Amino acid sequence: MLNIFEIIGTVAFAVSGALTGIKKRLDFFGVLMLAITTAIGGGIARDLIIGNTPPLAFRHPIYITIALVSTVGVWIFYRYLFRLTNVILIFDAIGLAVFTANGARLAFAGDYASLSVAVSLGVLTGTGGGILRDIFVQEIPMVFRKEIYATASIIGVLAQYYSRIFFHGSWPLYICFATTLLIRLIAMNFKMNLPVPKINNRDVNNNF
């Protein structure tokens, strides 16, 4: 089931990147690069950090292929997809939950079982591709300014870490997935955000 969700998450992230490229009026190659970056960028960054080279995405190009096929679909049907924002966000939440769980799983399966490393790898895998996408199009990454996103990923990894005390096998993985997904969906539904400093433009212009 998690493998199926991982494919769905890859498609969702690729669609998100492709739509961003179309909004920025990039050509097909640019749209494709944004889609691939969003879909597998976090996993590649994770693998490079832990020395898992060449990255899994290069050894198993199925995810690049999925991103390519998704890009072609977006290129053809983007006018209809722009009307399905909520559906895409839900798929994006599934992708975040899946990749967070998998990133943390690699930490626990190897020699990186500390909580800080697990959180870092989980969050990087879940959000890294989106951060790279936004940087490439010269925008502040959504994870820094949009609802509760990375926070959901962090709480999911914490749930996976502590649930290992009581559950064995794949249960902690599924608990991480469910926790991350639930928090992200609740944040989307109720427009929940972390606190932002209340300053006005005049103060900023006068003091910085």
Contact between 183 and 111 (Cβ < 8 Å): no
The b/e string for 173-207 (b: 16+ C-beta within 10 A; e otherwise) is bbbbbebbbebbbebbeeeeeeeeeeeeeeeeeee
Highest mean pLDDT among 20-24, 79-83, 90-94, 156-160: 156-160
- Mean pLDDT, residues 185-199 taken together: 82
Tell me the average pLDDT of the chain: 85
pLDDT in tens, 85-96: 677 788 788 889
Using pLDDT thresholds of 50, 70 and 90, give the confidence band for residue 204.
low
Contact between 160 and 176 (Cβ < 8 Å): yes
> Which pair of tokens denotes residue 152?
């959901």
- Mean pLDDT, residues 122-129 taken together: 91
pLDDT in tens, 33-88: 999 999 999 889 988 888 878 888 888 888 899 999 999 999 998 888 778 767 77
Give residue 192's pLDDT: 81
- Mean pLDDT, residues 129-147 taken together: 85
Give residue 152's pLDDT: 94
- Mean pLDDT, residues 197-206 taken together: 66
Contact between 32 and 133 (Cβ < 8 Å): no
Contact between 35 and 27 (Cβ < 8 Å): no
> Which pair of tokens denotes residue 139?
């925008």
Q: Extract long-range pairs of 161-169: CB within 8 Å, 24+ residues apart.
A: 161/104, 161/108, 161/115, 161/118, 161/119, 164/108
Give residue 146's pLDDT: 63
- Conformation bin of residue 66: beta by default, left when phi > 0, alpha when psi is -120 to 50: alpha
Q: Please indicate whether residue 206 or residue 133 has the higher confidence score (pLDDT).
A: 133
